[in-house]
Structure 1
Amino acid sequence: MIEITPGFRLSEEELEFRYKRASGPGGQHVNKTDSAVELRFDLNATPALTPEVRERLQRLARRRISREGILIIHAQRFRSQERNREDAIARLMELLREASEAPVRRIATRPTRASRERRLTSKKQIGERKRGRGRLRQTDDH
């Protein structure tokens, strides 16, 4: 069991791992080993997610979710398969933690009288400054 937050656990059987060859540097070793990890997590089949968390997760990870509702995380940052596997799980946990936090509702407030007055004073000063940028008048000297 993987503990995401207190009271929110995920069974490791729900995660599917696929291994493949990583791109990038690594010398001859990279051509022989499947060190890159693709973690697949079926959002529709898991009983661990509430509908609200599932919806927030779909919004957060929109590009990483397939049409079938499978969240796919690619990890190839490290040279070893085990570290990439841990990295993929850590990234999934971070996504799930973020999705499990309900957004804080904003309470609308009215601006204070002082802030309205400051705003109007500032607008007047900017207007005066712009008005001063007009063309110069012709004088009789020239």
Structure 2
Amino acid sequence: MFDEEAILQELSFKAIRSSGSGGQHVNKVSSKVELTFNLRQSLVFDDEQRERLLEKLQTRLTKDGVLILQCGESRSQHKNKVIIIDRFLELIKASLIVPKKRKPTKVPKAVIRKRLKNKRIHSDKKANRKKPDID
């Protein structure tokens, strides 16, 4: 599929301060991790894979083709980095999956006959509820 070690070399990380309330600790520690990956300049993927990724991730990419992910779930910068790497790899793997082509199946004749028979029975049942014509 792709070389995970090579793709990890192309990632760049930046530690930033987490948002929200917290107190003294949150004002001096940069525990939130931001991952950036330039998809257009990546050497890991071939042209077909790159096109598939650009198509699948178009809503998450910047105009320059850069994917930006952030994680501030943990108070530890190291844990956030591990979480964001796992999330990134899962996103890439899921985007590279080629869906199987659907083969349309033919409806069996027995099923068609059964449906028409049930329609006829239902129709006769409704017709028998009417008052008979006296002409």
TM range (shorter): 0.7 to 0.9
Does 2:105 align with 1:109? yes
Q: 1:25 to 1:78 in 2, by over 3 A?
A: farther
- Counterparts of 1:65-104 in structure 2 under 5 Å? 65-104=61-100
Gaps of 5+ in 1: 132-142
The code of the aligned residue for 2:52 comes to R
Identity, in percent, stands at 35
Report the TM-score, using the length of structure 2 for normalisation: 0.74
Q: How high is the TM-score relative to the length of structure 1? A: 0.71
Aligned residues: 124
Matched, 1:52 2:55: no
Say which one has the larger Rg.
2
Cα deviation for residue 24 of structure 1 reads: 3.4
Gaps (5+ residues) in structure 2? 127-135
Q: Give, as a single letter, the amino acid of the residue that structure 1 aligns with 2:54.
A: Q
Q: Distance in 2 between matches of 1:119 and 1:58?
A: 46
Q: Does 1:8 align with 2:3?
A: yes
Q: CA deviation at 1:107?
A: 1.6
Within a 5 Å distance, the mapping from 1:28-43 to structure 2 comes to: 28-43=24-39
How far the C-alpha of 1:56 sits from its partner, in A, is 2.5
